[in-house]
């Protein structure tokens, strides 16, 4: 009898794998569109609690239908839920809370784009992963590109709430540690069941916080339901499965460099959907960011 292969082995074919980084960036960049769409209709932690709960149910259904192997014992569940608390719970809670408290989305994106630098700095000590001079160069070039894209928005923004900025940076640290934890602890798990367990961990953190700090605003309007549907199926199911697959198959410093492309792509989406104009320096920054990712991810 043939052994059922984990998702990463069964579906990451040589033909499709090269498309995954670009698809991930496009999906991940829509997170800012969703945040803008749902902000008037739901409180941030309440929205994320619903999102995490629905995502866990969807992924559980997918895993059960496929007969996927679930985490083994307490250790397996613990490792997956810790990754979920870091990658989804703390990171998204921090970003949504900070934006809700007045941090401009562009500044939040810029703070999140520091992740590749943090990842490269700690990948060696924690994983024994060598970060080459070429990869450091690509990471630095990508940071410059992301800064150029967001520079006009930073200059145009008013006062930046220091507590919101600090919370957003803590979220960036959390997702950095989460990707490293995932790389180290999830080398042979099934990505579908691992992701489902991750969202259980994220929900276990976020729901009590929402109940303690928010009034439960959730108006069930059409924009909110559309944003929720995409957040669950596009971002939390599609985007996260791609991200976990990329982490497994590649060096974490190279995968993290992809996050530099998110602010430029988000800016392009905002231009198309909301009419936000792009200055020439922002267009230059997009080119620079792409070049940085190409350098960091080569080979």
Q: Where are the domains of the chain?
A: 20-297
Give the model's confidence band at 199: pLDDT under 50 very low, under 70 low, under 90 confident, else very high: very high
Burial of 272 (0-12, 13-18, 19+ CB in 10 A): exposed
Instruction: State the first-to-last Cα distance of the chain, in angstroms, to the nearest integer.
Output: 36
Give the model's confidence band at 203: pLDDT under 50 very low, under 70 low, under 90 confident, else very high: very high
Per-residue confidence (pLDDT) for residue 158, from 0 to 100 = 55
Q: pLDDT, tens digit, for every residue of 18-32?
A: 777 888 888 888 887
Q: Greater confidence, 142 or 249?
A: 142
Give the model's confidence band at 115: pLDDT under 50 very low, under 70 low, under 90 confident, else very high: confident
pLDDT at residue 82 tops 90: yes
Question: Left (φ > 0), alpha (ψ -120 to 50) or beta: where does 102 sit?
Answer: left
Measured from the Cβ of residue 55, the count of other Cβ atoms closer than 10 Å reads 25
Q: How far is CA 197 from CA 4, 216, 238, in A?
A: 20, 25, 16
**Structure pTM?**
0.78
Per-residue confidence (pLDDT) for residue 114, from 0 to 100 = 76
The mean per-residue pLDDT over the stretch 170-174 comes to 93
Whether the Cβ atoms of residue 239 and residue 24 lie closer than 8 Å to each other:
yes
pLDDT at residue 167 tops 90: yes
Q: Coil, strand or helix: which one is 87? A: helix
Per-residue confidence (pLDDT) for residue 170, from 0 to 100 = 94
DSSP string, 132-147: -HHHHHHHHHHHHHHH
Q: For residue 11, what are the contacts with CB-CB under 8 A and spacing of at least 6? A: none
Question: Both tokens of residue 188?
Answer: 């042979």
Per-residue confidence (pLDDT) for residue 196, from 0 to 100 = 92
Whether the Cβ atoms of residue 79 and residue 194 lie closer than 8 Å to each other:
no
Per the prediction, the chain carries an average pLDDT of 81
Give the model's confidence band at 3: pLDDT under 50 very low, under 70 low, under 90 confident, else very high: very low
pLDDT at residue 275 tops 80: no
pLDDT at residue 42 tops 70: yes
Question: Both tokens of residue 214?
Answer: 């928010």
The mean per-residue pLDDT over the stretch 37-42 comes to 86
Per-residue confidence (pLDDT) for residue 57, from 0 to 100 = 96
The mean per-residue pLDDT over the stretch 169-186 comes to 86
pLDDT at residue 10 tops 60: no
Percent of the chain residues past pLDDT 90, beyond the cut: 28
């Amino acid at each position: 009898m043939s052994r059922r292969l984990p998702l990463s082995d069964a579906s990451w074919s040589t033909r499709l794998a090269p498309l995954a980084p670009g698809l991930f960036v496009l999906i991940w960049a829509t997170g800012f569109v969703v945040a803008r769409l749902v902000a008037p209709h739901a409180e941030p932690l309440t929205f994320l609690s619903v999102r995490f709960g629905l995502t866990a149910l969807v992924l559980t259904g997918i895993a059960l239908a496929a007969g996927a192997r679930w985490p083994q014992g307490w250790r397996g569940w613990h490792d997956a839920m810790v990754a979920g608390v870091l990658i989804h719970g703390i990171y998204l809670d921090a970003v949504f809370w900070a934006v809700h408290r007045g941090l401009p989305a562009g500044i939040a994106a810029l703070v999140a784009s520091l992740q590749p630098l943090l990842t490269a700095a700690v990948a060696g000590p924690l994983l024994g992963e060598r970060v080459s001079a070429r990869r450091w160069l690509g990471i630095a070039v990508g940071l410059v590109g992301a800064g150029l894209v967001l520079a006009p928005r930073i200059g145009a923004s008013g006062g930046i709430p220091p507590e919101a900025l600090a919370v957003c940076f803590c979220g960036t640290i959390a997702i950095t540690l989460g990707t490293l934890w995932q790389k180290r602890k999830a080398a042979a798990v099934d990505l579908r069941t691992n992701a489902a367990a991750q969202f259980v961990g994220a929900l276990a953190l976020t729901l009590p916080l929402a109940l303690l700090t928010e009034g439960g605003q959730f108006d069930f309007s059409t924009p909110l339901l559309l944003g929720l549907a995409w957040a669950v199926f596009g971002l939390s199911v599609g985007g996260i499965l791609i991200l976990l697959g990329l982490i497994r198959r590649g060096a974490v410093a190279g995968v993290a460099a992809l996050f530099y492309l998110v602010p430029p792509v988000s800016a392009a989406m905002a231009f198309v959907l909301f009419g936000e104009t792009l200055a020439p320096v922002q267009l230059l920054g997009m080119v620079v960011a792409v070049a940085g990712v190409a350098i960091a991810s080569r080979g």
